[in-house]
Amino acid sequence: MKDYLQQSIWRFWDQSVSGKGHSPLESFAADDTLCQLVGQGQSPATIRTWVHDETVVLGIQDHRLPHIQEGMELLNNRGFTTIVRNSGGLAVVLDPGVLNISIVMSEQEDKIDINTGYNIMVELIKRLFPQVADKIEAYEIVGSYCPGSYDLSIDGKKFAGISQRRLRQGIAVQIYLCIEGSGVERAKLVRDFYQISLQGEETKFIYPDIQPEVMASLSELLDEPLTVQKTVIDLQRLLASLCNELKMGTLQTEEMELYAFYLKRVLDRNQSMLSKG
């Protein structure tokens, strides 16, 4: 495979601290904005890091659960806000111990198929954690929340999940990395959400039967005191080694108008989904 991580210029936008008090909906709007900017050649390939306070991000199928309002109430009572994302997948947990990374690349010159997109992210994570690169595997972990064929695990325990978004010739490959805290506790929260949202009813869609013991954080798996902030610093150093120029910083003034457009679209869609509940 071509080494997509080797770029003449990487743009790096770190929201691992500044994003905490904000809704993840703002992050989805940011990635849509970057998709258009990068896809249309108005920005170099970009990596964005983002962290949010306690939130459960629901997929569209989750919102069709028969007792979704009770499930959302349970999450709220446990200190988590809920939003519905504008792409596929199922419920995932975000909190200050979960680092999200988005890789945004252009398909203008070179088509990037779905599997290649996933593999680019897998390669980035292996380079970011070289001490366990040979142990990281990508396959579906049955019993995890938001299971998928590119779940990342070590010794059968999932610590990350990957998704993709495509827009205006841009592709955003997104990963949530459970760096700190307890993977089991996060999984128990989602298990309880599904139990109360289903209440034993039969549904056309098969929701995951969550087994909390199949999930863990990287700190637990490596038995090291890893932190989100150290991981962000390591990622910045890695990126600097993969390019001739590393451009740091947030959206520029002229890019904010586009961001405002995508933010309104994401907020309106989320409001529409929640009002149907």
pLDDT at 276: 65
pLDDT at 270: 82
pLDDT at 259: 97
Cα–Cα dist 51/163, whole Å? 16
Closest CA to 177 of 161, 156, 164: 161
Q: Where are the alpha helices (DSSP H) in 144-204?
A: 183-198
C-alpha distances (whole Å) from 153 to each of 211, 219, 239 are 15, 13, 23
Res. 277: pLDDT tops 60: no
Selecting from 3.20.20.80, 2.120.10.30, 3.20.20.110, 3.30.930.10, what CATH number does the domain 7-275 have?
3.30.930.10
List pLDDT tens digits, range 155-187: 999 999 999 999 989 999 999 999 999 999 999
Judged by DSSP in three states, 265 sits in helix
List pLDDT tens digits, range 20-67: 989 999 999 999 999 999 999 999 999 999 999 999 999 989 989 999
Q: Any idea which residues carry the catalytic annotation?
A: 146
Cα–Cα dist 145/184, whole Å? 11
Q: Model's pTM, two decimal places?
A: 0.96
Residue pair 26/263 in contact (Cβ under 8 Å)? The answer is yes
In sequence order, the β-bridge partners of residue 167 are 170
Parse the chain into domains and list their residue ranges.
7-275
